[in-house]
């Protein structure tokens, strides 16, 4: 008698999927639907989730949130690699954004301006490998960015945009390492009709 292998438990979720559910729970807290202690309990379930079904219970009793959002999958495929020694890496204007990027710089400055770029991807993954150079990432006004996977040595890492993904908005996942330079993720400044 042959035994059938058990059905797979479901689709595995990514960090972006967990962050989307966490954002819904934070919204429920601001609306007064759950308490801070309930938020902590539910977030522990969310961040321990491995499969899509694991994300349903923390949302089950919240109106309009009975099911987890459609998975926001991490990009697949080989990354586009940008390398530099002491010279700068700069992408501005109407350039085409790949789903995955790896940026390697020894001492040069890195500027990636996504505001006017052609970006068809809901999630853009950026791996930084910086020795002594700095990096500035300028994202559209509605974008979100998660920098939790970025490790800094002697430099600083700062983001002034929300880290939780929002439906319909581009989401950037920045990870890797920065040795001595700084990394900053922000929106462009507007002043007197100029952007910088």
Give 43-80 pLDDT, tens digit per residue: 999 889 888 888 889 988 887 655 445 445 567 778 99
What percent of the chain is modeled with pLDDT above 70? 86
**Number of structural domains the chain divides into:** 2
Report the pLDDT value the prediction gives residue 73, as an integer from 0 to 100. Answer: 59
Backbone dihedral region of 54: left (phi > 0), alpha (psi from -120 to 50 degrees) or beta?
alpha
How remote is the C-alpha of 181 from its chain's centroid? 21
Residue 10 domain-assigned?
yes
128 and 171 part of one domain: yes
The residue-averaged pLDDT of 99-125 equals 94
- The whole domain housing 174 covers 81-190
Residue 195 domain-assigned?
no
Residue 196 domain-assigned?
no
DSSP label at 16? H
Task: State which H helix or E strand residue 25 sits in.
Answer: helix 15-30
Q: Under a CB-based contact definition with an 8 Å cutoff, are residues 94 and 69 in contact?
A: no
Q: Last residue of a domain, which of 19, 43, 73? A: 73
- Asked whether the predicted pLDDT for residue 4 surpasses 60, the reply is no
Report the pLDDT value the prediction gives residue 159, as an integer from 0 to 100. Answer: 92
Report the pLDDT value the prediction gives residue 183, as an integer from 0 to 100. Answer: 95
Q: φ, ψ for residue 152 (rounded to 5)?
A: -110, 140
Strand locations in the chain (E) = 80-84, 89-91, 100-105, 110-113, 123-130, 135-139, 144-152, 157-159, 171-178, 183-187, 190-191, 194-195
Residue 45 domain-assigned?
yes
Report the pLDDT value the prediction gives residue 195, as an integer from 0 to 100. Answer: 64
- Asked whether the predicted pLDDT for residue 190 surpasses 80, the reply is no
Across the chain, mean pLDDT equals: 85
Q: Last residue of a domain, which of 25, 55, 73? A: 73
69 and 85 part of one domain: no
86 and 151 part of one domain: yes
105 and 63 part of one domain: no
Question: Rounded distance, CA 102 to CA 126, Å?
Answer: 6
Of 39-43, 53-57, 82-86, where does mean pLDDT reach its minimum? Answer: 53-57
Question: Rounded distance, CA 156 to CA 162, Å?
Answer: 18
1 and 25 part of one domain: yes
Q: What is the pTM of this model?
A: 0.65
What are the Cα distances from residue 196, in Å, to 36, 43, 108, 134, 184? Answer: 39, 37, 19, 17, 14
Instruction: Give the number of other CB atoms < 10 A from CB of residue 110.
Output: 23
Report the pLDDT value the prediction gives residue 8, as an integer from 0 to 100. Answer: 53
Report the pLDDT value the prediction gives residue 105, as an integer from 0 to 100. Answer: 94
59 and 90 part of one domain: no
115 and 62 part of one domain: no
What percent of the chain is modeled with pLDDT above 90? 45
Residue 171 banded pLDDT, cuts 50, 70, 90 = very high
What are the Cα distances from residue 38, in Å, to 6, 41, 51, 172? Answer: 34, 5, 21, 28
Residue 118 domain-assigned?
yes
Residue 10 banded pLDDT, cuts 50, 70, 90 = low
Residue 123 domain-assigned?
yes
Report the pLDDT value the prediction gives residue 119, as an integer from 0 to 100. Answer: 95
What sign has the CA pseudo-torsion 79, 156, 21, 114?
A: negative
68 and 85 part of one domain: no
């Amino acid at each position: 008698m042959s035994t059938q292998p058990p059905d797979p438990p479901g689709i595995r979720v990514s960090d972006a999927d967990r962050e989307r559910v966490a954002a819904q729970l934070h919204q429920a807290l601001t609306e007064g639907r759950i308490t801070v202690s309930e938020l902590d309990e539910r977030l522990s379930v969310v961040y321990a989730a491995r499969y899509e079904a694991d994300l349903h219970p923390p949302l089950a009793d919240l109106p309009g949130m009975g099911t987890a959002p459609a998975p926001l999958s991490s990009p697949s495929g080989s990354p586009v690699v940008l390398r530099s020694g002491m010279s700068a890496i700069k992408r501005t204007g109407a350039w085409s954004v790949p789903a995955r990027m790896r940026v390697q710089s020894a001492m040069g400055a890195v500027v990636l301006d996504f505001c006017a770029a052609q970006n068809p991807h809901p999630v853009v993954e950026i791996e930084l490998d910086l020795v002594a150079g700095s990096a500035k990432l300028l994202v559209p006004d509605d974008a979100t960015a998660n920098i939790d996977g970025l490790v800094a040595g002697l430099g600083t890492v700062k983001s002034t945009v929300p880290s939780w993904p929002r439906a319909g908005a581009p989401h950037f996942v920045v990870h890797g390492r920065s040795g001595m330079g700084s990394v900053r993720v922000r929106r462009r400044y507007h002043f007197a009709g100029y952007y910088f």
